[in-house]
Amino acid sequence: MKVRTGFQGMSSKEGEGVHELVSAWVEKHLEPIMRGVGYAESELAVNIAKRKKGARKFHVKLHMHVPPKKIVAAHARADELRPAIDEALGRLLREVRKHVSRVRHQEAYKRKARRTRLRELKAKLAAMPAEIVTEATGGIEKLLPRLEKAVRRELTYLRSQGDLPPDYPTVDDVIDEVVAAVKSEWSEGADAEAVYLKLLKAMHEVLDREVRNSRVFGEMESLEAPPAADAEDQAEAMVEEEIAEFWQPDELLRLEDVVEDEASPEPEAVLEEEETAPEVQYTLVVMRELPIQWRRALMLQTFEQLAAQQMAEIFGEEAATVSAWLDAANRFLDARMRDAGFDLGNGHASARLIQPSK
């Protein structure tokens, strides 16, 4: 984990040793917890302010991001610096443990619900004629490598946006449920392209359900629980300006997780091209800011070479609606790229993601 410290109203000498003290505490108490939830790269921000007059002149404020999408904050005041730091760290540890416990219960519920859905799908498959199941298995098997790439891309973006935790669902979790869902609705004689569109549609449905579950349970609070005893703690937790200050989700968005199509250059080759690499990487990061459906449509067009009519079947929309999404997404990306100083010429920024290897 990373520790970032800041001081207000204090000399560097007064704050000497604070960073080392907090870093040692984090390594012993906090890092094992964050590693256990797959978020060892998180950062703890420490801000220490000192008033010139009055009692409890040292004010320590701590905040950090914890998955899936929450800011945990703690603070303390004291006459001396060390007691204020100890009290704030103790409060932070309690809040992190409480949040992790709740998330783990949430994850257990989601996993149980997923197992129930899989059992229902398998029961439906067991009732189907064996020859239909065999045909479905053979038809889907050859599409799995292509599906896996699509799942990886979508998971990468949903995690970078904080819509899903970093460790669940896994690629295999999604593929298992998607394959079972498509098999259970198999139509005899279906061609490969039609089957792949059904796989993509099922993939979006599975991931949308996981995102909804993460949001519902991650935001839920008991209406019967008594209010927090310390009103200042509540106020601290509502401060929003720190979110962009220390949490940069771009760190979770890696080029190699997104550009995997055979027609795309190898990530290492892209990174070696000084002119292309920043353009490609920045485009992928900016795509994270698009509405989910716009981004999905643009990715399906870019990486899967699907037409608007094919995507309309996946999204359950009119082809004209999908075309409007693509147009809006491209205009947004192009504007952001030009703002950043990139020369796009007459093409779209998204077209630069797929280039013939040299």
Which helix or strand (DSSP H or E) is residue 45 part of? strand 43-50
The domain defined by 262-353 folds into Arc Repressor Mutant, subunit A (1.10.10)
Q: What is the pLDDT of residue 258?
A: 53
Mean pLDDT by 10 residues, the chain (358 residues): 86 82 90 79 87 83 80 88 90 86 68 80 84 86 90 85 77 88 84 90 89 60 49 45 38 49 42 52 82 90 89 91 92 85 76 56
CB atoms within 10 A of CB 172: 10
- For the entire predicted model, the pTM comes to 0.59
Pairing of strands 58-66, 43-50: antiparallel
Angle between helices 292-303 and 144-160 (to 10 degrees): 140
The pLDDT of residue 246: 36
Architecture per CATH, domain 2-101, reads as 2-Layer Sandwich (3.30)
Q: Where are the domains of the chain?
A: 2-101, 128-219, 262-353
d(CA 132, CA 344): 50
Tell me the three state secondary structure of residue 56.
coil
